[in-house]
Amino acid sequence: MIVDKSEIQKSDKNLLEEHQYEFNFIANKLQQKGHDIVARLAKLSEFQVAIPSWALGAGRTRFGRFAHGGEPATLEQKLDDVGLIHALTQSEGAIFLHIPWDVPQDYAAIKERASSLDLVFDAVNSNTFQDQSNAQESYRYGSLANTNAASREQAVQHNLDVIDIGEKLGSKSLTVWLADGSNFPGQTNFQSALLHTEDSLKKIYGAMPQNWSLFIEYKPYEPNFYSTVIQDWGTSYMLANACGDRAYTLVDLGHHLPNTNIEQIVATLMLKGKLGGFHFNDSKYGDDDLTVGAIKPYALFLIFNELVQGMQNNPQNPYPAWMIDASHNIKDPLEDLMQSLEAIQEAYAKALLVDQTALLAAQSAQDVVACQEILQSAFRTDVRSLVQRSRWQCGGALHPIKSYRDMEVRKNLIKERGATAVATGL
């Protein structure tokens, strides 16, 4: 299904007057406070977040999976789905693939399809957390950290194969997330597991093309429940440093123990020029992969406040690769991705409104109350019409989920692909 611009306009029609009113109100107010609205809107319009190929079907828990019907069964259809939400949002113009879930058959055709949908390929992700049916060696006891050299070599080779695939698609980065760890005390030797991981990552890094970056993702637990080799940002940072300049830490919001101060991690990594990528999601307890902003929107805003400061003040840090890494069982995945995007854009828009000069002055004056007032005044601003305008001026929908429903997208996808089509991946 292709989204027709005239359908977007039709669905927007009844919203336009209200939008105009709300936008004028907030734009005037902010302009009076000295904000350059055109510049803020440009920043919001530029912001593109990549969609993971594994989030387009229903996610699963170990207790079951509830399919939505019309799920994309092929890579081509996954591209189409991302193209669909990108047409509505104008901000989801990239896809990131997990190999071997999404190995392209015909590269030229896939690239052509992506560009016809205005999409690019973001990072490619290796998968050494599952055994493949044709694999010689098992990852049951780890991959890059395995005590068995043959398993490590197979895992390194897999990463090199993923880089080859990514190169053919125009990707410029590899994300490595390792499940390696242990379930029971004594099962693993922490030091040799770390040394094996470092050695394996260096081999992968050394084989990457010169213009590629390596993103090293960390996670405290799951699927291992006693120890994880790359458990935290410090371990990832240490490994990235050991690899070289083009190796970075990747922060996944769900990969922190409860109440971790993620914004401080962001600030530290950006100061060191080592924040490479970002996986957005939200969580209540662990790596819940819930819709971004569904649980802790204020924490998300504080994280964006550090990201904005870092992007303004830390030229040593590259522009981070933004990705949504959420997936679950209940909502229509495409609607869910649009909700996630909205929460991200709102947090970003609010962070752009923080008066950084006043905040610095209040910090220097040790005026704790003023510091909080400055942050919360930005957080409490209703920026929804700014986000709407940034999307609308690029040809997107004022209210993407409403347009999606008006166009009966899911119904059409079920008609095209069938009620039992199931997405590959998790």
Residues that bind ligand PSV (CB under 6 A): 54, 125, 177, 217, 219, 252, 279, 287, 325, 426
Q: Which stretch binds Mn ion (CB under 5 A): 17-25, 183-191, 246-254, 313-321?
A: 246-254
DSSP letter at 351 equals H
Binding letters toward Mn ion, positions 304-343, x by CB under 5 A: ---------------------x------------------
Burial class (CB in 10 A: 0-12, 13-18, 19+), 167: middle
Q: Which stretch binds Mn ion (CB under 5 A): 6-14, 271-279, 312-320, 357-365?
A: 271-279
CB of 255 to Mn ion, least distance (A): 7
DSSP string, 140-167: TT-STT-SSHHHHHHHHHHHHHHHHHHH
User: Is the CB of 135 or the CB of 426 nearer to ligand PSV?
Assistant: 426
DSSP string, 40-106: HHHHHHH---EEEGGGSS--EETTEE---SS---SHHHHHHHHHHHHHHHS---EEEEETTTT--S-
Q: How far is CA 103 from CA 111, 152, 215, in A?
A: 13, 22, 20
Please choose which of ligand PSV, Mn ion, none residue 346 contacts, taking the beta carbon within 5 to 8 angstroms, the exact cut-off set by kind.
Answer: none
User: Is the CB of 158 or the CB of 350 nearer to ligand PSV?
Assistant: 158
User: Is the CB of 79 or the CB of 176 nearer to Mn ion?
Assistant: 176
* Contact in structure between 216 and 248 (CB atoms under 8 Å): yes
- Residue nearest ligand PSV, CB atom distance: 177
User: Is the CB of 344 or the CB of 386 nearer to ligand PSV?
Assistant: 344
Residue 98 touches Mn ion, criterion: CB under 5 A: no
Please choose which of Mn ion, ligand PSV, none residue 92 contacts, taking the beta carbon within 5 to 8 angstroms, the exact cut-off set by kind.
Answer: none
User: Is the CB of 254 or the CB of 293 nearer to ligand PSV?
Assistant: 254
Question: CA-to-CA distance for 149 and 146, rounded, in angstroms?
Answer: 7
DSSP string, 213-255: EEEEE--SSSS-SSEETT-SHHHHHHHHHHH-TTEEEEEETTS
User: Is the CB of 218 or the CB of 304 nearer to ligand PSV?
Assistant: 218
Q: Which stretch binds Mn ion (CB under 5 A): 20-28, 46-54, 275-283, 380-388?
A: 275-283
Question: CA-to-CA distance for 237 and 274, rounded, in angstroms?
Answer: 7
Among 279, 350, 391, 410, binds Mn ion (CB under 5 A): 279
* Contact in structure between 383 and 390 (CB atoms under 8 Å): no
CB of 96 to ligand PSV, least distance (A): 9
Q: Which residues bind Mn ion (CB under 5 A)?
A: 252, 279, 325
